[in-house]
């Protein structure tokens, strides 16, 4: 989904995108697997439910083999790429359900069509996350620089335990331990096992897990704190920086940063666009730099909130299943909402972490903002397909299956290499710009925010590279007279990713 991996690393991605109906969901989730690290997930999820699903009863067996065979049955019925499935595959050699699913979908993955986006997860945990952002964590999102052996906090969630401990955006973590007398420097952890060793040192996503963390704040001396993982709800729009109106050259520019597409995002999104509408804002920066996706219903809402004065026949997005499931195909036409605006210009901030529902929104608006839309930062991940979710309730199994493709009104749906490909096709501007963790997102001086504002103002820029998966960041502390020091940041999920980590890779 986003990063340049360590030489020993293996990058797998899955994104969840859209929710259309009760049981099926579209997921674009990013998973990063590294040597010595069993696996992880990250990205966004969206959900849609088919009109018919296999009933789940308490009589269902939850043995490994029965769960594997159930998963295979659903995949063979719904998978978007049935021609890529093996004619038969014995589940016996595979020790987990997900290992068997990985083997079933290996051919599509080899063609870059399903990058580990078909998998099984927990119904209970995912429902809690999709509804309100509930997860168990410190509440920080990390960027890894394996070359310089550093770890930087990219975002800190205001409701999590780390935020109140001073672990905020731009802070560099320098050592980790489970006690104050066994701290291991981040540099030594990288030397021992790369970024996977750092990930392991931070511990599992379990309430009550404590770590002693030494860090270098943006201002002041190095500090050591003990932080305990707790259950909390992630604010999808930050209450501190998430919505702003920025004055630039005497004009008002709206700014909104959406962290993830979950149900609880609806209210802050409506409030943000009502603020823009009241202020007469018609030029907007939409910051999706770390947004791996989520519910399709929220993506559709974002389209509607930018669809004032659109015709009711104007298409925002189209979802298409395989021919045998074409009865499930849907379209979303713009619907005017009381808070809707009619943007004259849009600038989307993206990185290799931007996927799924985030890409759906940008692609959907591309068709209707010709000549006045730009993409700033780095190329996005590239996930024009989505998942349905089929549940086996007795086993707490939710099977996410890549089951449909997504297109905008122009029929663009082939952006497997990132959104830049379709922006280029239509002659729209893309601008390379570094993330600046030493400054708040939405600060007009912050690298990607500044570039997005400049793009809205019509300034020329250096086009972003075609390569997806690179996150360039410039910590404020590393800006020198010779220019910024650039490095590659990595969002590294844990070895057993929670639903939140699948949608928000790098979350701890």
Domain limits, the chain: 9-132, 243-318+326-383+405-467
Report CA-CA distances (Å) from 292 to 101, 351, 352, 476, 500.
22, 10, 9, 25, 10
- What number of other Cβ atoms are within 10 A of residue 445's Cβ? 11
pLDDT, position 337: 96
Residue 359 DSSP SS3:
helix
CA–CA gap between residue 506 and residue 448 (Å, rounded): 19
Q: Are 288 and 358 in contact (CB under 8 A)?
A: yes
Q: Are 486 and 471 in contact (CB under 8 A)?
A: no
pLDDT, position 133: 79
The burial class, CB within 10 Å (0-12 / 13-18 / 19+), for 223 is middle
pLDDT, position 187: 97
pLDDT, position 468: 57
pLDDT, position 496: 56
* In 330-406, alpha helices (H): 357-366
pLDDT, position 467: 77
pLDDT, position 461: 97
Task: Write down the pTM of the prediction.
Answer: 0.85
Residue 361 DSSP SS3:
helix
Which of 170, 174, 188 is closest to 225 using CA atoms? 174
What secondary structure does DSSP assign to 104-141, as a single string? HTHHHHHTTS-SS--EEEEHHHHHHHHHH-EEEE--EE
Q: Which helix (H) or strand (E) is 276 found in, with range?
A: helix 266-278
Residue 323 DSSP SS3:
helix
Average pLDDT per 10 consecutive residues for the chain, totaling 508 residues: 26 30 32 22 41 49 96 98 98 96 95 88 90 89 92 97 97 97 97 91 93 96 97 96 96 97 97 98 97 93 97 97 97 97 98 94 97 97 93 95 96 95 97 96 98 96 79 34 30 57 80
Q: Are 117 and 400 in contact (CB under 8 A)?
A: yes
Check whether domain 243-318+326-383+405-467 has CATH 3.90.226.10, yes or no? yes
pLDDT, position 274: 98
CA–CA gap between residue 287 and residue 449 (Å, rounded): 8
In which residue are the tokens 């007279």 written?
481
Q: Are 210 and 227 in contact (CB under 8 A)?
A: yes
> What stretches of 178-296 adopt beta strand conformation (E)?
184-185, 210-216, 223-228, 230-233, 243-248, 251-257, 283-287
Residue 251 DSSP SS3:
strand
CA–CA gap between residue 504 and residue 493 (Å, rounded): 8
Largest CA distance in the chain: 69
């Amino acid at each position: 989904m986003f990063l340049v991996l360590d030489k020993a690393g293996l990058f797998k991605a899955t994104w969840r995108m859209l929710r259309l109906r009760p049981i099926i969901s579209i997921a674009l989730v990013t998973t990063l697997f590294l040597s010595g690290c069993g696996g992880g997930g990250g990205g966004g999820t969206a959900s849609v439910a088919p009109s018919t699903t296999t009933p789940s009863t308490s009589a269902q067996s939850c043995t490994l083999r029965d769960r594997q065979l159930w998963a295979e049955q659903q995949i063979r019925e719904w998978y978007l790429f049935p021609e890529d499935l093996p004619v038969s595959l014995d589940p016996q050699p595979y020790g987990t359900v997900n290992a068997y699913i990985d083997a079933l979908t290996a051919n599509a993955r080899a063609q870059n069509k399903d990058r580990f986006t078909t998998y099984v997860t927990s119904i209970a945990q995912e429902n809690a996350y999709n509804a309100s952002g509930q997860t168990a964590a410190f509440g920080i999102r990390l960027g890894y620089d394996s070359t310089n052996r550093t770890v930087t906090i990219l975002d800190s969630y205001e409701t999590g335990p780390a935020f109140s401990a001073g672990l905020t955006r731009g802070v560099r973590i320098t050592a980790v331990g489970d006690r104050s007398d066994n701290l291991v420097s981040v540099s030594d952890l990288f030397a021992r096992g790369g970024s996977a060793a750092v990930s392991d040192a931070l511990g599992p996503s379990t309430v009550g897990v404590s770590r002693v963390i030494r860090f270098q704040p943006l201002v002041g001396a190095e500090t050591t704190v003990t932080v305990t993982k707790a259950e909390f709800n992630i604010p999808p729009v930050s209450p501190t920086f998430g919505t702003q109106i920025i004055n630039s050259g005497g004009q008002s520019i709206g700014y909104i940063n959406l962290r993830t597409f979950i149900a609880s995002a609806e209210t802050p999104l409506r409030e943000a666009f009502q603020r823009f509408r009241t202020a007469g804002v018609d030029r907007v920066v939409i910051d999706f730099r770390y947004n791996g996706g989520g519910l399709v219903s929220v993506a559709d809402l974002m389209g509607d909130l930018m669809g004032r004065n659109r015709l009711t026949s104007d298409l925002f997005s189209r979802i298409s299943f395989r021919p045998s499931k074409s009865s499930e195909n849907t379209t979303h036409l713009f619907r005017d909402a009381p808070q809707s605006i009619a943007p004259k210009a849009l600038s989307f901030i993206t990185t290799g972490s931007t996927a799924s529902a985030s890409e759906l929104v940008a692609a959907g608006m591309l068709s209707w903002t010709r000549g006045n839309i730009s993409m700033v930062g780095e190329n996005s991940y590239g996930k024009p397909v989505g998942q349905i979710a089929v549940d086996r309730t007795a086993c707490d199994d939710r099977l996410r299956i890549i089951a449909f493709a997504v297109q905008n009104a122009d029929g663009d749906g082939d952006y497997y290499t990132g959104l830049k490909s379709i922006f280029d096709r239509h002659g729209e501007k893309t601008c390379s710009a570094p993330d600046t963790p030493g400054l708040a997102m939405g600060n007009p001086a912050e690298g990607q925010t500044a570039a997005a504002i400049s793009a809205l103002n019509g300034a020329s820029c250096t086009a972003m590279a075609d390569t997806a998966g690179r996150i360039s960041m410039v910590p404020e502390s590393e800006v020198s007279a010779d220019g910024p020091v650039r490095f590659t940041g990595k969002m590294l999920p844990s070895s057993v990713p929670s639903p939140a980590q699948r949608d928000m890779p790098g979350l701890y």
